């Protein structure tokens, strides 16, 4: 009798990791894999309290479980809560994961855990998988180019490119140094390889965490990426020289949509969100003309200074066009949100601006009224925009966002880049250019339509991502046989 695969999935507990892992869980379940999705107790509680709580009840063959994250309330309020969370999970989360897998094995009706699927930043779960005695797979949540650049951080450090000698290196042109030796990646600026090269810290804490986490993927049985073959062929070729089993199954949003369309998989828990989504923004979009609205969001982690917020706000206000802006609580330094918008801004943009604390981004991007996306170039957002066929204005600020932005504007021809130092004049000019009718805008729209079609083809039956997911399921099923 064929053994039923049972995947235990454990993402780093932030939206940028939870969202793609939930989608992968849903896709695996739709292909017959038994799924246990493990949240931290803190997030489990947040989800339980949220509007999406119904999804948490799970279904036949799809369960949610939780393990403690070990953080105190003081840690949670700290500005460096993400670092504290990372360290705390490393310290304390392995044994509860192993214990959970053993408990699941004793439960009636569920097959024993046959594999662990983790996201980036939780490499300690590789040890847990070893202890459980099952293979591990890593869903690294960035583009392939983002992953390869992170892998090469070690070499950049060893060759002396980073850490920077002093603060002047941030602005004296040093970050423009050409890096032309990363296999699979075209010549790029040093500053675009990763935000982590900008460190002045002689210990390079964040840099070392990133490089260690990426390099630890070599210990996994396979590497899963939310991208598709046609989007990044050269870098995927190069990557396969180091990682023999790379599964490109994205864009995940498109794969989910295709699975729902074909009846493989319902809306499911992939719609779970740590934040409450503002439904009113969809009604507002319904009333706008096709392609007329710029959507603006900086994901779940970015923090802007009040000065940056003001430059953005007045740049958007100057354009005279309509926009939907996600200003989540915590987007502005000092744990502030929409209350930090400059005085007079809402009055100046009344009737053409909608501010939401959080929204159903995939639906927003697919809405006919949305014609452009001002983004921080987080990979989930970028992949969702590519799938929706929406051109972007990119303002990267962290981690892989610089290389995503470089590819969006350069390789894929679907974006305009803002300078690092935000200026309202440039915000207004890029807004105009993206949404207007210049030759460049038309070309970006043509490219975006082409990538949208390619993303749909990759995730449709017979497409490269569809087939790659099939191979992954096969591999999960084989386990250690």
The beta strand positions in 209-365, using DSSP E, are: 222-225, 246-248, 293-297, 322-326, 353-356
- State the nearest-atom distance from the C-beta of 12 to ligand UDX, in Å: 9
Residue 113, token pair as written in the block: 């855990």
Residue 88 or residue 194: which is nearer to ligand UDX going by CB?
Answer: 194
Residue 220 or residue 359: which is nearer to ligand UDX going by CB?
Answer: 359
What is the 8-class DSSP label of residue 3? P
C-alpha 367/C-alpha 385 separation (Å) is 11
Q: How far is CA 41 from CA 26, 64, 354, 387, in A?
A: 21, 11, 34, 33
Q: Which residues contact 24 (CB under 8 A, 6 or more apart)?
A: 9, 117, 139, 224, 249, 252
Residue 322 or residue 382: which is nearer to ligand UDX going by CB?
Answer: 382
- State the nearest-atom distance from the C-beta of 472 to ligand UDX, in Å: 20
Residue 380 or residue 468: which is nearer to ligand UDX going by CB?
Answer: 380
Residue 220, token pair as written in the block: 């996994």
- State the nearest-atom distance from the C-beta of 277 to ligand UDX, in Å: 7
- State the nearest-atom distance from the C-beta of 79 to ligand UDX, in Å: 16
- DSSP secondary structure, 111-134, as one string: PPP-EEEEETT-THHHHHHHHHT-
Q: How far is CA 274 from CA 19, 88, 294, in A?
A: 9, 20, 24
Which string of b and e fits 327-341 if b means at least 16 CB within 10 Å?
bbeebbeeebbbebb
Task: Find where tokens 């002045």 sit.
Answer: 200
Residue 399 or residue 409: which is nearer to ligand UDX going by CB?
Answer: 399
Nearest to 342 by CA among 376, 312, 304, 374: 312
- State the nearest-atom distance from the C-beta of 379 to ligand UDX, in Å: 3
Residue 139 or residue 416: which is nearer to ligand UDX going by CB?
Answer: 139
Q: Which residues bind ligand UDX (CB under 6 A)?
A: 15-16, 19, 141-142, 273, 297, 299-302, 326, 358-359, 361-362, 378-381, 384, 398-401
- State the nearest-atom distance from the C-beta of 330 to ligand UDX, in Å: 12
Residue 100 or residue 270: which is nearer to ligand UDX going by CB?
Answer: 270
Residue 98 or residue 364: which is nearer to ligand UDX going by CB?
Answer: 364
- State the nearest-atom distance from the C-beta of 454 to ligand UDX, in Å: 20
Would you state the torsion angle of the CA atoms of residues 19, 20, 21, 23, taken in this order, to the nearest 10 degrees? 90
Angle between helices 306-319 and 424-435 (to 10 degrees): 40
Residue 5 or residue 313: which is nearer to ligand UDX going by CB?
Answer: 313
Angle between helices 233-240 and 144-151 (to 10 degrees): 50
- State the nearest-atom distance from the C-beta of 252 to ligand UDX, in Å: 9
C-alpha 415/C-alpha 408 separation (Å) is 5
CA angle 85, 472, 478 (to 5 degrees): 105
- State the nearest-atom distance from the C-beta of 353 to ligand UDX, in Å: 15
| CB of 408 closer than 8 Å to CB of 384 | no
- State the nearest-atom distance from the C-beta of 112 to ligand UDX, in Å: 31
Residue 21 or residue 465: which is nearer to ligand UDX going by CB?
Answer: 21
């Amino acid at each position: 009798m064929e053994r039923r695969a049972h995947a235990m999935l454990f993402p780093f507990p932030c939206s940028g990791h939870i969202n793609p892992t939930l989608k992968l869980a849903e896709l695996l379940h739709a292909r017959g894999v038994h799924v246990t999705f493990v949240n931290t107790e803190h997030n489990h509680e947040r989800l339980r309290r949220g509007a999406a709580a119904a999804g948490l009840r799970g279904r036949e063959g799809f369960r949610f479980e939780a393990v403690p994250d070990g953080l105190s309330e003081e840690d949670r309020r700290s500005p460096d809560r993400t670092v504290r969370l990372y360290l705390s999970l490393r310290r304390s989360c392995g044994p509860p994961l192993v214990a959970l897998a053993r408990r699941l094995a004793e439960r009636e009706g569920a097959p024993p855990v046959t594999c662990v699927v983790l996201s980036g930043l939780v490499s300690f779960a590789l040890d847990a998988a070893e202890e459980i005695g099952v293979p591990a797979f890593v869903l690294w949540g960035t583009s392939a180019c983002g992953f390869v650049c992170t892998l090469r951080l070690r070499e950049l450090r060893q060759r002396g490119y980073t850490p920077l000698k002093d603060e002047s290196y941030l602005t004296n042109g040093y970050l423009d140094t050409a890096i032309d030796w990363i296999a699979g990646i075209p010549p790029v600026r040093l500053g675009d390889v990763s935000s982590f090269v900008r460190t002045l810290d002689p210990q390079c804490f964040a840099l070392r965490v990133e490089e260690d986490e990426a390099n630890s993927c070599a210990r996994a049985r396979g590497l899963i990426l939310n991208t598709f073959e046609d989007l990044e062929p050269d870098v995927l070729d190069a990557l396969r020289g180091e990682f023999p089993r790379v599964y490109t199954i994205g864009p995940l949003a498109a794969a989910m949509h295709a699975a729902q369309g074909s009846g493989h998989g319902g809306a499911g828990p992939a719609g779970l969100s740590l934040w409450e989504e503002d439904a009113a923004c969809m009604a507002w979009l319904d009333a706008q003309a096709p392609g007329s609205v710029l959507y603006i969001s900086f994901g779940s982690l970015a923090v802007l200074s009040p000065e940056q917020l003001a430059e953005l706000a007045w740049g958007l206000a100057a354009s005279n066009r309509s926009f939907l802006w996600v200003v989540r609580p915590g987007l502005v330094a000092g744990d502030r949100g929409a209350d930090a918008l400059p005085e007079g801004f809402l009055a100046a943009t009344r009737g053409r601006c909608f501010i939401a604390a959080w929204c159903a981004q995939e639906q927003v991007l697919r809405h006919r009224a949305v014609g452009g996306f001002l983004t921080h170039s987080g990979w989930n957002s970028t992949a969702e925009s590519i799938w929706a066929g929406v051109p972007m204005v990119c303002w990267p600020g962290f981690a892989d966002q610089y290389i995503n932005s470089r590819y969006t504007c350069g390789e894929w021809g679907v974006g305009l880049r803002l300078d690092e130092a935000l200026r309202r004049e440039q915000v207004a000019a890029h807004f105009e250019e993206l949404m207007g009718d210049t030759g460049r805008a038309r070309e970006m729209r043509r490219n975006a339509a082409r990538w949208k079609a390619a993303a749909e083809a990759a995730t449709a039956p017979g497409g490269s991502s569809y087939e790659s997911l099939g191979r992954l399921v096969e591999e999960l099923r084989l386990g250690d046989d």
